[in-house]
Structure 1
């Protein structure tokens, strides 16, 4: 959907270059009493604005897209795909469209494996084939790794650029040139109460790196991520 609320239609091939990451959702997020899913809005450090989700599963994958340094744009419910199936007209709106730093695109649908019914599977298959035709990556994702999600959710609490305090950033860069335990490094950089929020922000931004396959703790090894190793630039981190 474009900014004025119109819903233009185009052939699949002619849609390949559309900047879907800049559009609005093509359908509203429902909210009612006793519903079993929990819709909401996520403030994205990637876009600097809110992106919608319809369930906690979608929220977690939206969070992971926001955390991914390769992602530079995200939109929810970005477009409708229409196709014919056994003589009947069908449609499906994927959960997310993400633009990557290299210009490529990723389309994401979120659904636990055990909840994929035959009709859903057919829609996901149609979306996958459509993405292949236009050169987009397609991901059908289920429940993410719980440890990774827990760690990233914690770091997300410090994703806003207000946590990027220049003096503390400089001190942490110096401390973690050589790998050091998280708390010990924070104490070396200054008062942990002041330093830790900045440290977590730098972990979110990718200036610092730590293994997120295990739960973050006091002794988690942290190190400076040199530019060229996939980290974000200072400009990226400020935007995010």
Structure 2
């Protein structure tokens, strides 16, 4: 879900390759978590977080394969605690079916031009039942924001991010 937030990423996939290796009588398989391509054509391999003893050898295998293939290795910094929980909540609304249309988007940007609780903004938007899903989607895309040090709840204060009115579909 973190790759959805990276504006440089054009597309990404998981489970598309395995790297089989042999070295000094040992063998194994490295399965990167993701492969990603940026809008400017750079390619990344994103490894799983590994146990300490496996990390060194698998990292060498990935470095070797990456150098041969022209990839860059890019580990993900997975947030922890409150932010991780908030991102998991927002991720349920990342799909295009929750994206507001142009008019609904503008209504919500206007409603949240001033910070207010999520549920209050949904109520005053006049968009009815779909409003909450649209708001959570706009939080996912970064069009709306919140205090990331606090849990994201229906009572959380959220606001429109000036100049950041892109849609999920624009991110690939």
**TM-score range for the pair, normalised by the shorter chain length:** 0.7 to 0.9
* 2:147 paired with 1:199: no
RCO greater where, 1 or 2, for CA within 8 Å and sep 6 or more? 2
Give ranges in structure 2 of 5+ residues lacking alignment.
none
Is residue 2:13 matched to residue 1:75?
yes
1:104 & 1:211 partners in 2: Cα distance? Answer: 32
- RMSD (CA atoms): 3.1
Matched residue of 2:12: which SS?
A: strand
Shift of the 135–162 alpha-carbon distance from structure 1 to 2, 3 Å rule, reads: closer
Partner SS state of residue 110, structure 1: coil
Residues 1:186 and 2:112 aligned together: no
Which of residues 155, 162, 178 is equivalent to 2:90? 155
Residue 104 of structure 2 aligns to a residue whose secondary structure is: helix
Q: Deviations over 1:158-209 (max 9, x none)?
A: 1222222324322111111233332332222136643111100111122212
Asked if 1:65 corresponds to 2:22, the answer is: no
- For 1:22-58, what per-residue CA distance to the aligned partner results, in whole angstroms no more than 9, with x for missing partners? xxxxxxxxxxxxxxxxxxxxxxxxxxxxxxxxxxxxx
Length-normalised TM-score, structure 1: 0.57
Contact 1:106 1:139 in 2 (8 A): no
- In structure 1, the partner of 2:159 is 223
The residue aligned with 1:42 is none
Q: 1:85 to 1:140 in 2, by over 3 A?
A: farther
TM-score (norm 2): 0.75
Q: Counterpart of 1:210? A: 146
Q: Provide the secondary structure at the position in 2 that maps to 1:173.
A: helix
Q: C-alpha distance in 2, partners of 1:135/1:193? A: 45
Quick check: 2:14–2:34 contact (8 Å CA) kept in 1?
yes
User: Cα 1:101–1:177, aligned 2, differ >3 Å: closer, same or farther?
Assistant: farther
Matched, 1:101 2:35: no
Pairing partner for 2:166 from 205, 227, 232:
232
- Whether the 8 Å CA contact 2:36–2:44 is kept in 1: the answer is yes
